Amino acid sequence: MKNHWDTVIVGGGIIGHSISYHLSKAGADVCVLDKGTGGRRATGAAAGMLGVHTENRTPGLYHEFCVKSRDMYNELQTELYQCSGIDIQLTTNGMLQIALDEREAKELQEKQQSFPSLSWLDDREMKIRHPWVKSSGALWIREDGNVKPEKVAEAFKRGARSFGSTVKDGCFVIRIRKSGQGYEVTTNEGEIFAERIVVAAGADSGPWFRETGLPNPMVPVKGECFSIKPRNLLFQETYFSPSFYVVPKRDGSIVIGATSREGDGSESTSAGGIADLMDQVFRVFPALREEPLEKWWSGVRPGTSDGRPVIGEHPQEKGIFFATGHYRNGILLAPATGKLIQSLFEKGTFAKKYEGLFSPARFQIGGVYEHTR
C-alpha cells in the first residue's frame, strides 16, 4: 500500500482541501489526512460570507489578498462543477454593512472614503430600498456574496481526487519526525512519509507550532449560529453588523450568526448565546421574528494572536508549512491560500508578494510582531 507522498496535508477542512486541489491540479502527489471527528470546527459551521470589506478591513496588501480570493470563486464555480459535479452555490447579490446608530453611520461613511467602489445609503434610502431593516444607513458592497462552505470543501476534495490526490478519512497525526530529506508521520493508521508537510488543522493547529519549536499563536474563538426557513424570502442581499450577520442562502434558508467567545474551543451551543443573538437580530429585522426556526449550531474559529492567518514555511524546519489561523475569513480566503501554498512550493511571484504578510516567522522571539486586534 502506498505510504509515501510528495506532500501530506494535516487537516481536512476547506483550507486543506483547497491546497490539495491547487497542488494536485498542478501535478503534485498529495495526501490529505482528515481526522473527521464529525464535529463542526470551522468549515461546517461557517455562514460562507465572502466579505472583503467587512471585518474591520482597511486598504492594503491583506485587503488585496481578500479581493483576489473572492474573485477566484467566479472561475472556481464552473471549474469545480466540471471536475466534481458539485454546485458551490455562489451568490453575488451584494452585502450591506449596516449602521445601527449615528456613531456607526459616521464610521461607515468615513470607511467609504477609503473604498470608493462602495456606496453609502442613508436612512431614508434604506427605508425605501430595504424596508425590513431598522438602521441608520448602510454601506452597499455590490461585489460581495456568499457560498455554501461544506459544498466548497467537498468540491475541492472531489476535484483534487480527480487529479489523483489521496484523502485518508478518520486519520489523525500522532507525531511528525525528520527522516532523511523529508518527514515521517506517525498516524493512527501507521507510518507515512512525505517530502513536505502542510499543517492546515484550523483551531487544532496549536500543537504543531509547539512541537516544531515555535510559540503557539492559535486562539480558539467559538461562534454560535442559527438558521430560519422563511415562508417568503424578503431579500437576497447579505446584511452585516459588528454583532451579527444575516445571510440568505440559495436553498431558501437564512443563516444568522454569530457569537464570539474568545478562548472557548468547545463545541456545545449555549441557549443564552443563541437567545442574545436572536434578541439583537430581531430588533433590527422584526419581520424575521415570526419565521420558522430551522436549526442552531456552533463552530470554533482558528484565531491567531495578531488576527492574521499564518501561511508559509517554518523558519527553521524546511519542508514544514503552515496554512492556518484564518479566524473569521477561512471561506473567503480558501482559494487564495491554496494558490499561495502552490506558489510558495514553486517559488512563484504570487508567493513573493504575500509571503511576508503571513509568515510564521513573525511569532518567533525577535520576529516582526504587530498586535492588530
- Residue 295 beta carbon to ligand GLY: minimum distance, rounded to whole angstroms: 17
- Residue 246 beta carbon to ligand GLY: minimum distance, rounded to whole angstroms: 12
Q: Fill in the per-residue mask, 178 to 197: x = in contact with ligand GLY (CB under 6 A), - = not in contact.
A: --------------------
Query: Nearer to ligand GLY by C-beta: 176 or 333?
Result: 333
Query: Nearer to ligand GLY by C-beta: 306 or 313?
Result: 306
- Residue 328 beta carbon to ligand GLY: minimum distance, rounded to whole angstroms: 3
- Residue 57 beta carbon to ligand GLY: minimum distance, rounded to whole angstroms: 12
Using rule CB under 6 A, residue 301 touches ligand GLY: yes
CA-CA distance, 151 to 84, in Å (whole number)?
10
Cell triple for residue 73? Answer: 470563486
Query: Nearer to ligand GLY by C-beta: 53 or 328?
Result: 328
Using rule CB under 6 A, residue 308 touches ligand GLY: no
Position closest to ligand GLY via CB: 328
Query: Nearer to ligand GLY by C-beta: 187 or 298?
Result: 298
- Residue 43 beta carbon to ligand GLY: minimum distance, rounded to whole angstroms: 11
The residue within the footprint of ligand GLY, chosen from 149, 206, 223, 325 (CB under 6 A), is 223
Q: Which of 295, 365, 309, 314 is nearest to 337 (CA)?
A: 309
CA-CA distance, 241 to 256, in Å (whole number)?
11
- Residue 223 beta carbon to ligand GLY: minimum distance, rounded to whole angstroms: 5
Using rule CB under 6 A, residue 50 touches ligand GLY: no
CA-CA distance, 275 to 273, in Å (whole number)?
5
- Residue 137 beta carbon to ligand GLY: minimum distance, rounded to whole angstroms: 22
Query: Nearer to ligand GLY by C-beta: 160 or 336?
Result: 336
Write a three-state SS string for the chain. Answer: CCCEEEEEEECCCHHHHHHHHHHHHCCCCEEEEECCCCCCCCHHHCCCEECCCCCCCCCCHHHHHHHHHHHHHHHHHHHHHHHHCCCCCCECCCEEEECCCHHHHHHHHHHHHHCCCCEEECHHHHHHHCCCCCCCCEEEECCCEECCHHHHHHHHHHHHHHCCCEEEECCCEEEEEEECCEEEEEECCEEEEEEEEEECCHHHCHHHHHHCCCCCCEEEEEEEEEEECCCCCCCCCEEEECCEEEEECCCCCEEEECCCEECCCCCCCCHHHHHHHHHHHHHHCHHHCCCCEEEEEEEEEEEECCCCCEEEECCCCCCEEEEECCCCCHHHHHHHHHHHHHHHHHCCHHHHHHHHHHCHHHHCCCCCCCCCC
Quick count: other Cβ atoms within 10 Å of Cβ 195?
Answer: 16
- Residue 272 beta carbon to ligand GLY: minimum distance, rounded to whole angstroms: 18
- Residue 127 beta carbon to ligand GLY: minimum distance, rounded to whole angstroms: 27
Query: Nearer to ligand GLY by C-beta: 161 or 301?
Result: 301
Query: Nearer to ligand GLY by C-beta: 32 or 221?
Result: 221
Using rule CB under 6 A, residue 328 touches ligand GLY: yes
- Residue 268 beta carbon to ligand GLY: minimum distance, rounded to whole angstroms: 17
* Number of residues located near ligand GLY, criterion CB under 6 A: 6
Query: Nearer to ligand GLY by C-beta: 49 or 311?
Result: 49
CA-CA distance, 41 to 13, in Å (whole number)?
8
Residues in 250-289 at the binding interface with ligand GLY, rule: CB under 6 A: 257-258
Query: Nearer to ligand GLY by C-beta: 66 or 344?
Result: 66
Using rule CB under 6 A, residue 49 touches ligand GLY: yes
Query: Nearer to ligand GLY by C-beta: 16 or 223?
Result: 223
Give the residues lining the site for ligand GLY (CB under 6 A).
49, 223, 257-258, 301, 328
